[in-house]
Amino acid sequence: MAHSSCLALALAVAAVLAMAAVEVSGLGFDLHHRYSPIVQRWAEERGHAGVSWPAGAEVIGSPEYYSALSRHDHALFARRGLAQGDGLVTFADGNITLRLDGSLHYAEVAVGTPNTTFLVALDTGSDLFWVPCDCKQCAPLGNLTAVDGGGGPELRQYSPSKSSTSKTVTCTNNLCDQPNACATATSSCPYAVRYAMANTSSSGELVEDVLYLTREKGAAAGAAVRTPVVFGCGQMQTGSFLDGAAADGLMGLGMEKVSVPSILASTGVVKSDSFSMCFSKDGLGRINFGDTGSADQSETPFIVKSSHSYYNISITSMSVGDKNLPLGFYAIADSGTSFTYLNDPAYTAYTTNFNVQISERRANFSGSTRSGPFPFEYCYSLSPDQTTVELPIVSLTTNGGAVFPVTSPVYPIAAQMTNGEIRIIGYCLAVIKSDLPIDIIGQNFMTGLKVVFNREKSVLGWQKFDCYKDEKMTDDGSSVGSPSPSPGPTTHVFPQPQESDSPVGRTPIPGAAPVPRSSSAAAGGRAGFRLLSSMALLLLAAAAAAVF
C-alpha cells in the first residue's frame, strides 16, 4: 500500500486561538471559528448564546462538536438555496472575524466616517455586502467586550446620515438590479436578498461609503486604504438573521459585480478580480484580495452549471493510496463548509478504498453525541500510547489534468478520561455522504494549500503553501529553498491538548512582523487577513467515547 508520511492528529488549540492579527509581510486580520470562546462570549453578550453553543458542543473536538459543525453546514446549504491596485490590501488593523449559525467565519469590518464597526459573516456563496442600517427590524444590538483580550467596540447600526462620506446609490447605477422598483431614476436603489432558510431575508437600500483596508505588501505595507464600496443599508432583516445568523451583516465573496472582491478590482484598489485563501495545518490561514497566485500553481477551470454563481469545478478521478478511481463529478469549492460532502458512487468508492488501507481498528464515537447525528461513518481507534498514524495519500484529478492534493483527510477525536485527563483516542475520515444533489469540497480538503479563486480567468488555482512564511512548499512538506528532510516517514508527536477557555490575546507568530497601527491613507494593494478554521479546534471532548 502507498502511504503518506506519519500524520499528527492533534492540534494545539490554545496556541492557535492566541495567534494574533499579524502577517509575515504586513498587516493581518483575525477570523474566529464559530465555536471559539470569543464567539461564545460575543453571542452571550448579544443574547444569542444558544445559537453559538448548542448542547454538548461547547467542548471542542467531541462528537457533539462535529455534529454541530455538520448542522452548520446544512444550515449554510439551506441559506444558499442548495437544499432542495498593486499588491494586497486587507481590512484595517483591529478588525476581527467570527462566525455564527450558517457561516463558518465572521469578520469585524469598519465603514463610514466616522467609522462604524460590524461583525459580518463571510460567504463565498452570495454576493452582496450588507449591514444593519436605520433599522426597522434588525437583530438585537449589544456591546462586544474583551474580543482581543481588552475592551471591544460597541456594535451598532450604520446610518448614512451620520457618515460624512456616505453617498446615495441611485437607480441608474450599474450595481442596481431592481430599477423597476424605483419611483424615479434619481431614487435610492432598493435591494432585497432572500435566502431559502426559514424565510430569511435582508432588504433596504444600496449606499456607497468607505471601507477601511490596509496594504499588506510592498514599501507601503501597513498603510491605510479608504476605498468606496457599494453595500446594503439593511433596514429589514427576517428569519435566521434575527437569531444570530449574520446578526451584524454579511459580506458576499461571490462572482457577481456587486461583491466586495469585484468592486475592489473594478475600482483599481487591486489589479485582479481574484482572491486567495491559505489554510495551514494548525488551522490558521489568510485571505488575500487581488492575489492571482503564482505562475507554477495548479489550475482547473470553473464550470458554470446554473444561475448560481458558485465556484464549481470538475473532478475526473480520485486517487486513494495505490488505488486510482475513475470517477467523474462536479463539486463546489467552498471554504465556508466545514467538511467535504460526496454523493455516490464517489463517496462509497473513496471511503471503502481508504478503509482497506488503514491498520487501526474501526471505532464508533456516535454513542456520546447529544447535539445531533454524528456525521462521520469511518472512524478508527488509537492505542493508549499511539502518537502517530499512517494514512494513504489522497488526491483529486481535475478537469485539465491538474492534481488537487488532500493533505488533511482525517479529524482527531479526543476524550476526557475519568481522572480529568484529555487524550486523543481516535480519528475519523472527514467526509460525509451528501444528502443533497451536489458535491462540496470543504475546508478540510483545502488545508495545507493556498487556494486561488480567480474570477478574472475563471479558474481555481492551488499550491502547497506555508501560510506563516508566505511561501510555497515542496511535495515533501519543506519550504522551497530549505533542506529536504530525509526519506521515509516523518514522526510527529501529538501536542498536549489545551483547555478551550484559555485566554485569547494578541501574541506574535514567531518570525512575524508586529502589527503597526497605521492611520495614513494609501491607494492600491491586495488584501489579506487571518483565518481561524475548524481544523484548529478539534482537540477536546466532553466524555470518553465508545471506541469499539
Give yes or no: 334 in active site.
Answer: yes
Report the distance separating Cα 268 and Cα 273, nearest Å.
10
Q: Which residue has the cell 486580520?
A: 29
CA 7 to chain centre: 23
Strand pairing report for 96-97 and 30-33? parallel
Residue type, 82: L
The catalytically annotated residue of 30, 93, 123, 248 is: 123
Cell numbers 457618515 correspond to: 163
The three three-digit cell numbers of residue 10, written as one number: 492533534
Give the C-alpha separation, 120 to 251, whole Å.
Answer: 6
Residue 97, CA distances (Å) to 286, 507, 525, 533 in order: 11, 16, 21, 11
Q: What angle do CA 277, 281, 285 make, to 5 degrees?
A: 30
123 among known catalytic residues: yes
Catalytic residue among 127, 177, 291, 334: 334
E strand segments, 165-311: 167-168, 190-194, 201-215, 224-238, 250-252, 274-279, 284-289, 298-301
Considering just the CA atoms, what is the radius of gyration of the chain in Å?
22
Tally of CB atoms within 10 A around 247? 31
Contact 300, 402 (CB under 8 A): yes
Q: Please state, in angstroms and rounded to a whole number, the distance separating the CA atoms of residues 536 and 279.
A: 10
Active site residues: 123, 334
